[in-house]
A and B are shown apart, each in its own frame.
Chain A
Amino acid sequence: MSITYLEAIREAQFEALRENPNVFLYGQDISTFGGAFKATKNLSREFPGRVFDAPISEDAMIGMAIGAAIEGARPIVEMQFADFSSVGFNQIVNQAATLFWRTNTTCPITIRLPSGGTPGSGPFHSQSMESIYAHYPGLVILSPATVEDAYWMLLESVKLDDPVIFCEHKFLYYHLKAEGFGEPMPIGKARIARPGRDATIVTYSAMLHESLRAAEELRIDGYEVEVVDLRSVKPMDTDTILASVARTGRLLAVGESFPWGGVTAEVIARVSSEAFHLLDAPPMRLNSKDTPIPYHPNLWKSHRPTTANISSALRQLLRY
């Protein structure tokens, strides 16, 4: 049975709804229509009265989910695109993220962000928001790169008593397929996606696949590049990163989001401050360019990291 990343997300929601009557889905066009990407296809029919169309009110959608969670519900909120979560930003970072710490009341909400670029999507349907949300205490930020993680981590998100920002990548929706869901791995642990000894790439989400291809290219030159898939941006599994850098002595952090600050900067900062002595070369990072995300595919392909520029960054790192 071949299953896509998108189907995994649908299946996880099916399973979450089946397992717990307190789970409900809330989002724009997600009920009978099945969502802009069909991530909730048929769920309103399979679970009548549990899948609700929301008004175009991201602030109220998240606020509503928080109130429902306080009363014991476990809402999954779909943002139509990650980009629109900026309108619900206040509820996420100030209401949801502070609730447990302030009041000892848990806030089990899952917010699904269809993230990242696809050709022709332009500045407002392509963003990666994980770094923004990771900055705030009180949130768990997940960024599955595989079909297996898309399924298991979403299911696990709904069971967590803390607010989860679930950054699912739109580019992987249809492109990525697997035979079944495999075995779950715990949230908060990174995974060695490809072992190696010459350099470490730390990455996540769609950039995992670009990085794996780059590692494969370098194999032809005789290099063994280790690729670490963070899986969870926050908490970040520093131990696995440090252990990898201890083996390789070289680090490249790759992310699709904008270059100022963010996840890749955090990776570099942690390794530099905690394991400077392990490094044989200055750590490098690769992100998108510091402009809005372009519409035209010609521009878009050069805006984000790709196999080609990850490979050339790796060569530079290995030459040092």
Chain B
Amino acid sequence: MPVTETSPIIATAPQSELRDDYLKTLRCMILSRTLEEKLGSLYRAGGRIVGGVYLGRGQEAFSAAAGIHLRWGKDIYGPLIRDQAGRIAYGEPVLDTMRTYLGAVTGPMRGRDGNIHRGQPQKGYMAMISHLGSLLSVVAGALFARRLQGRLGDTAGATSIGDGGTSTGAFHEGLNMAAVEKLPLVVSVANNQFAYSTPTSRQYACENLVDRAVGYGVAGHSVDGTDLLACMQVFRTAFENARAGQGPQMVVGRLLRLGGHGEHDDASYVPDIKKHEHEGRDCLIVAQRQVIELGWATATEIEDWHKNARREVDKAQAQASKEPTPDPYRENWHALSTPELVEGMNE
């Protein structure tokens, strides 16, 4: 399988064709950043958010460019820790994020799980568990079932992993299996150079993660994760290939995590010099400059998008804050869906 290097200069699709999707994606990035800034400040203020806050700052372009290629209710998506932007682009309402972080029972996880561990599997939107690497085979299985049932059609699946997560056995097993089954799966590998505090030099010994694609027998793509246009191009190609039956596509994005592992972490272990390297650019600033240069939007429009995003986030926060949190006395405490098999039910 070819390993394609995509750079912004060698466009695989004419730029003009990408315009509409690009603008949609950029707005998702803005909404995501606005939402995450709110989550960060709620966390720092204390009280409202129980548990951790894990943000995707600096990874919005790479994440949203994948998410925008997925159709809510049709395609399968298994996002991970840094995929707030991808989730928005896929179609998850901001309100669901707020509800989950604030533990509202009205949210998809009903207070039973929180923060990034959310989804609606019945709709093809998988809810990650913490164990890295383990979601890949689940997304693959969903695609496998659709094919078995004769309703795969042009469905695609997508999931993400970080540089650290690629070291798990589960990731290896899952990708190998998906390749054997030649499933229409796009795997985003966000190489943000750190796994919590561990640099990639302690994570793997290969030159570049994309080189692994050949070993798995899947197509490999590599992209500058700070460049929205490049990300749009590479994911468009990857999804087209996947939907056309060419098997799994592995897209490796080079970037830097612009923040701590979670909001509890000051990331003091990230050397300052990294922040000044190309990968340390803020993809949102880059995209906002890019969109003006391309003549696709004006500074005023961008400012309006930010305003709208703030309004949407504030509204979601106001609503989720009013909603009830779980009541242990109304919880049925059933881990099984078959009531007759729940122990102690006859007592």
Contacts and interface: CB of A to CB of B under 8 A. Distances in A.
A60 B343 CA distance: 30
Given A72-B149, A137-B335, A55 B341 contact: no
A138 B129 CA distance: 15
Contacts of A70: 121-122, 126, 138, 141-142, 145
Contacts of B139: 67
Interface residues of A, number: 52
Contacts, number: 157
A104 B334 CA distance: 11
Interface stretch (A88-96, A279-287, A292-300, A308-316): A88-96
Contact of B341 (A62, A67, A235): A235
Given A95-B129, A99-B121, A71 B142 contact: yes
A103 B117 CA distance: 10
A129 interface: no
Interface in A228-242: 234-236, 238-239
Contact of A100 (B117, B141, B148, B335): B335
Measured as residues with beta carbon below 8 angstroms from the partner, the interface class of chain B is 35 or more
Interface stretch (B85-93, B167-175, B232-240, B247-255): B167-175
A160 interface: yes
A67 B112 contact: no
Nearest to A23: B148
A54 B178 CA distance: 11
A103 B108 CA distance: 7
A41 B29 CA distance: 53
Interface of A: 21-22, 24, 49-50, 54-55, 57-73, 87, 90-91, 94-95, 97-106, 137-138, 140, 160-162, 187-188, 234-236, 238-239
Interface of B: 76, 108-110, 112-113, 117, 119-122, 124, 126-127, 129-131, 134-146, 148-149, 169-170, 173-174, 176-177, 180, 334-338, 340-343, 346
21 contacts: A55-B180, A61-B177, A62-B137, A63-B137, A64-B138, A67-B126, A67-B138, A67-B142, A67-B143, A67-B145, A68-B141, A68-B144, A70-B138, A70-B141, A70-B142, A72-B149, A87-B169, A90-B134, A95-B134, A235-B341, A235-B343
